[in-house]
């Protein structure tokens, strides 16, 4: 199960980073097109570049993660309740290294080729299917959004069916296993559906904040608002991994503390070890994604800050604008996470009722992880952008 959520997070994060990289170097690729390169050639070029980057990253990641995994797994198998895990000697293996490099290189190359093909294709039939229409979705995007949201509705409706029907559907021997499988399917479907409809959800949330936010009191709000709304792809790359982390964290807390009654059966170290085991991979992927986004968006942030300085904004105004912008990002992450957790908590209550399990968490628990992730993204953006603006202002004054 940890591998499943780690893999889903990795796929979405890599796709978002590659999309931002293509957008960043779009002018260079268009120059190749002017010189006579065809869309297929550009797509192959982008796929090759991304594949090489993926192979280098896979090689470095393998050597950096090996000692960490060795120490962590040694701690896991000595933790109470996890001693049934087999003792494995974590050592360098050429076959696993080559497999890691090939898999990551192939995956990033394919994603780069698909995004490059989608960006630079000139075929009429392809353009009609992939051309972004109203709300930023193509016909294929609308179709995929309807399919995933319909699948989510179906999985959600299963929790309102009689337990006997679910037992027959999943073929399980106990209600506990049945609802565990149903909840796992709900989480995965919810992540896929949210990712498919992000282009619809995020602009609505940002515009809703503009309505309720005291824009007349905060003079830099409009600037921050348009900065966030204009960079929709960047917003998706920031919020989607954090939404996954918040949702998955809440899911495991409900499963461990409530449905599994761990509070009565296990000690604190076992609970912490279980959480680290399940949430460690998504957290590290999200951390790497945050660092990547910071590096990719640095030139754009520099140009934006210089433009604002040219039109007369002082250092105080710039810092204030970045604070408001960080607040918008944090609120979007918080609202999206609360909505996801609220949709998750209802099936959790249904499962606990049918399995006659006592619930320890209340409705207030749906805001805990979204609040934590929202505060983290707020502080990160504020500190990174604030320090960067201060550095630019100091260098300009000299």
How far apart CA 329 and CA 178 sit, in angstroms, is 37
- Across the range 137-143, mean pLDDT stands at 77
**Considering only CA atoms, which of 220, 393, 394 is closest in space to residue 320?**
220
pLDDT at 371 (0 to 100): 92
**Considering only CA atoms, which of 393, 383, 201 is closest in space to residue 294?**
383
What is the C-alpha radius of gyration for the chain, rounded to an integer number of angstroms? 23
Q: Residue 40: pLDDT above 60?
A: yes
**Sequence-ordered list of residues with C-beta below 8 angstroms from that of 375, at least 6 positions apart, any chain:** 330
Helix count and strand count (H, E) for the chain: 16, 0
Residue 76 pLDDT level (bands cut at 50, 70, 90): low
Of 179-183, 193-197, 212-216, 266-270, the poorest mean pLDDT is in 266-270
Where is pLDDT greater, at 84 or 245?
245
**Considering only CA atoms, which of 202, 214, 228 is closest in space to residue 328?**
228
Q: Residue 56: pLDDT above 80?
A: yes
- The structure's pTM equals 0.76
pLDDT at 386 (0 to 100): 79
How far apart CA 230 and CA 152 sit, in angstroms, is 29
Q: Residue 242: pLDDT above 90?
A: no
Residue 247 and residue 39 in contact, taking contact as beta carbons nearer than 8 Å: no
How far apart CA 196 and CA 201 sit, in angstroms, is 10
Q: Residue 87: pLDDT above 70?
A: no
Where is pLDDT greater, at 224 or 134?
224
Where is pLDDT greater, at 282 or 161?
161
**Considering only CA atoms, which of 245, 215, 175, 11 is closest in space to residue 108?**
11
pLDDT at 195 (0 to 100): 85
**With left for phi above 0 and alpha for psi between -120 and 50, is residue 36 left, alpha or beta?**
left
**Sequence-ordered list of residues with C-beta below 8 angstroms from that of 259, at least 6 positions apart, any chain:** 176, 179, 180, 348, 351, 352, 355, 357
pLDDT at 387 (0 to 100): 80
Most confident of 19-33, 103-117, 190-204, 334-348: 334-348
pLDDT at 28 (0 to 100): 78
Which two three-digit tokens encode residue 316?
Answer: 């105080």
pLDDT at 43 (0 to 100): 84
φ/ψ of 375, rounded to 5, equals: -65, -40
Q: Residue 236: pLDDT above 90?
A: no
- Across the range 347-360, mean pLDDT stands at 80
The average confidence (pLDDT) of the chain is 77
Which two three-digit tokens encode residue 136?
Answer: 């930023």
> If you search the block for the tokens 């890691």, which residue do you land on?
100
pLDDT at 127 (0 to 100): 47
- Produce one character per residue of 212-242: b if its CB has 16 or more CB atoms within 10 Å, e if not: ebebeebebbebbbebbeebeebbbbbbbbb
* Greatest extent of the chain over all pairs of C-alpha atoms, in Å: 75
């Amino acid at each position: 199960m940890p591998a499943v959520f780690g893999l889903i997070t990795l796929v979405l994060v890599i796709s978002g980073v590659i999309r931002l990289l293509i957008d960043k170097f779009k002018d260079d690729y268009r120059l190749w097109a002017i010189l006579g390169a065809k869309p297929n050639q550009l797509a192959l070029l982008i796929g090759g570049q991304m594949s090489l980057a993926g192979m280098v990253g896979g090689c470095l990641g393998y050597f950096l993660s090996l000692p960490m995994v060795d120490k962590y797994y040694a701690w896991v198998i000595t933790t109470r309740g996890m001693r049934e895990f087999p003792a494995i000697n974590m050592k360098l293996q050429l076959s696993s290294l080559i497999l890691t490099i090939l898999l990551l290189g192939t995956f990033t190359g394919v994603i780069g080729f698909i995004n490059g093909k989608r960006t630079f294709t000139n075929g009429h039939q392809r353009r009609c299917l992939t051309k972004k229409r109203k709300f930023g979705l193509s016909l294929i995007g609308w179709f995929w959004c309807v399919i995933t949201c319909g699948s989510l509705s179906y999985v959600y409706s299963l929790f309102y069916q009689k337990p006997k029907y679910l037992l027959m559907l999943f073929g399980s021997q106990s209600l506990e296993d049945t609802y565990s499988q149903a909840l796992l399917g709900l989480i995965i479907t919810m992540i896929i559906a949210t990712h498919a409809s992000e282009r619809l959800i995020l602009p609505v949330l940002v515009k809703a904040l503009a309505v309720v936010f005291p824009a007349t009191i905060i003079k830099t709000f409009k600037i921050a608002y348009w900065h966030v709304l204009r960079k929709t792809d960047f917003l998706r790359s920031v919020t989607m991994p954090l939404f996954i982390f918040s949702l998955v964290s809440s899911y495991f807390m409900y499963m461990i503390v409530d449905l599994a009654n761990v509070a009565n059966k296990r000690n604190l170290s076992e609970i912490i070890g279980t959480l680290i085991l399940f949430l460690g991979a998504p957290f590290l992927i999200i951390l790497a994604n945050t660092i990547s986004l910071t590096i990719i968006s640095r030139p754009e942030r520099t140009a934006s800050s210089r433009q604002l300085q040219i039109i007369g904004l002082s250092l105080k105004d710039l810092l204030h604008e970045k604070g408001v912008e960080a607040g918008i990002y944090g609120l979007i992450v918080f609202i999206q996470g609360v909505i996801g957790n609220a949709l998750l908590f209802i099936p959790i209550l249904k499962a606990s009722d049918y399995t006659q399990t006592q619930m320890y968490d209340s409705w207030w628990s749906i805001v805990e992880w979204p609040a934590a992730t929202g505060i983290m993204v707020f502080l990160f953006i504020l500190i990174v952008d604030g320090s960067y603006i201060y550095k630019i202002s100091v260098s300009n004054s000299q």
